[in-house]
Amino acid sequence: MVVILKKNPNEKQLENLKNWLQSLGLELHISNGANQTVMGLVGDTSVVDIDLIKALDIVESVKRIQEPFKNANRKFHPQDTVIQVGDVKLGGGNFQFIAGPCSVETEEQICAVAADVKAAGAGILRGGAFKPRTSPYSFQGLGAEGIRLLLEAKEKTGLPIITEIMDLHQLDCFDEVDIIQVGARNMQNFELLKELGHLRKPILIKRGMSATLQELLMSAEYVMAGGNEQVILCERGIRTFETATRNTLDLSAVPVLKSMSHLPVVIDPSHATGKASLVRPMAMAAAAAGADGLMIEVHNDPQHAWCDGPQSITPAAFAALAEDVRHILPYCQYNYEQI
C-alpha cells in the first residue's frame, strides 16, 4: 500500500500516523521528494482501513498495491482448492452438478427428484428448507422439517446435501447438512459469515445482487479468517437495467474470480435467468467459461412447484443438459495464473 502525503505535512500528525501504522505491524518506507512525500507500507495491509487513512488531513491519496483478501487470494495459494464431501469432490478439475428443487415440498417430491438427478450424474442434492422470499405471504419453506426430508433423500440416494441458512438461530438444524449455502441476500451478513468461519464444513456463498467480485471475495474472506477454508463461490446473476431475464448472468465472473482466487466457482443459471428455456444455453456457456460446477433447479412438476417453477427444469431436461455439458468439459481447462 502506498500513502501519498500532502506538501509540508504537519509534523505531529505525521508522527501519529507513522506510530499507528507501525503499531499494526507494518514496516514504513518513506521517500521525501521535492513536492511530495510517499510512504510505502510493507506487511499485512489487509488489517488497514484505507478510508481511515484517506480521511486524514495530511494525506493526499492512498493506493492499494495488494488486494485486501489474503486467505482467498490465488497469489498466496496458487493451487486450486478442492472441496470434498464424502466421495464427492468439487474444484481443481473436479466438475460437479448440484441439482434439486428450489424448495423441499414433500418427501415424495424431494426423494423422486434426488433419485432422478443422481441417475443423471448430479453429485450434490440441493433443496431449500429456509426460503428467502420477497413476499412474506409466499411459501417460506418447511424449515427444520425440510432439512429432515433432505436427509431422508440423502439416506436413500447417498447424495450429499446443500441447503440455505438465513439466520444464525437456525444453525442447530444444520449439524448434518454437508454444505451450507449463504444466499445472495445474506452475502454481507457479516455476523453469519463469522459464525460459519468457526465451522469445519464447506460454505457456498452466492454473490449479492449488487455486489462486486471483490466484495464476494471479502465475504469468503470473513469465513476463511475464522479458519474455515472450505468456501465455494457462486455467481447467480446480478441486477442490471435488463428486464428480459430475472437477473443478468455475469459469466466473466468465472475467469475473473478464478484468476483472483483459488476457490471453486459455481454458476447458477436458474436464478440468473429465471427461465427454464435459458438454463441449458447458460449452463453450457458457464462450463465453457471454466466453471467448476453448476447449481441447477430441477423439479418433477415445474408447473406446480411451490417456488421458482418458471426457472425449474424437469429431470429429463437436466439429464440432457448434464450430458451436453460433460461433452464440452475436456475443452474448458484454463491456466488462471496466465489470465
Closest to Mn ion by CB, 9 vs 146, is 146
Nearer to ligand PEP, 1 or 294 (CB): 294
With contacts defined by CB under 6 A, name the span among 49-57, 117-125, 177-185, 316-324 that binds ligand PEP: 177-185
The whole-angstrom separation of Cα 146 and Cα 153 is 11
Identify which of 268, 265, 271, 281 has the alpha carbon closest to the alpha carbon of residue 321. Answer: 281
Binders of ligand PEP in range 157-176 (CB under 6 A): 164
Task: Name which of 170 and 247 has its Cβ closer to Mn ion.
Answer: 247
DSSP 8-state code for residue 207: P
The distance from CA 310 to its chain's CA centroid, rounded to whole angstroms, is 24
Starting at the edge strand found earlier in the chain, the sheet holding 27-32 runs 27-32, 37-42, 2-5, 59-63
SS3 330: helix
DSSP per position, 257-286: HHHHBSS-EEE-HHHHH--HHHHHHHHHHH
* Region for residue 221 given its phi and psi (left: phi exceeds 0; alpha: psi -120 to 50; beta: otherwise): alpha
Question: In the complex, what is the shortest distance from the CB of residue 86 to ligand PEP, in angstroms, rounded to a whole number?
Answer: 21
C-alpha cell at 129: 428448507
Among 118, 154, 236, 262, binds ligand PEP (CB under 6 A): 236
Show contacts with ligand PEP in window 312-331 (CB under 6 A). Answer: none
271 binds ligand PEP (CB under 6 A): yes
Q: Is 308 in the site for Mn ion (CB under 5 A)?
A: yes
Q: Check residue 206 for interaction with ligand PEP (CB under 6 A).
A: yes
Residue of 179, 167, 161, 160 lying closest to 132 (CA atoms): 167
Written as one letter, the residue type at 237 is G
- Residue whose cell numbers read 474448458: 332
18 binds, among Mn ion, ligand PEP, none (CB under 5 to 8 A by kind): none
Binding to Mn ion, residues 87-106 (CB under 5 A): 102
Under the binding rule (CB under 6 A), the answer on residue 267 touching ligand PEP is no
* Cβ distance to ligand PEP smaller for residue 63 or 239: 239
Which of the listed partners (ligand PEP, Mn ion, none) does 236 bind, with a CB threshold of 5 to 8 Å by partner kind?
A: ligand PEP
Q: How many residues of this chain interact with ligand PEP, rule: CB under 6 A?
A: 11
Q: Please tell me whether residue 128 binds ligand PEP under the rule CB under 6 A.
A: yes
How far, in Å, are 101, 121, 150, 169, 171 from residue 129 at the CA level?
10, 23, 9, 14, 13
Q: Please report how close the Cβ of residue 184 comes to Mn ion at its closest, in angstroms.
A: 10
Q: Which of 183, 202, 290, 302 binds ligand PEP (CB under 6 A)?
A: 183
Q: Which is nearer to Mn ion, 43 or 309 (CB)?
A: 309
What does 183 interact with, of ligand PEP, Mn ion, none (CB < 5 to 8 A by kind)? ligand PEP
184 binds, among Mn ion, ligand PEP, none (CB under 5 to 8 A by kind): ligand PEP
* Helix intervals (H) in the chain: 11-23, 50-54, 107-119, 144-157, 190-197, 213-225, 253-260, 269-273, 276-289, 315-328
Stretch that binds Mn ion, among 28-36, 46-54, 106-114, 303-311 (CB under 5 A): 303-311
CA 279 centroid distance within chain: 19
User: Which residues bind to ligand PEP, rule: CB under 6 A?
Assistant: 102, 128, 132, 164, 183-185, 206, 236, 268, 271
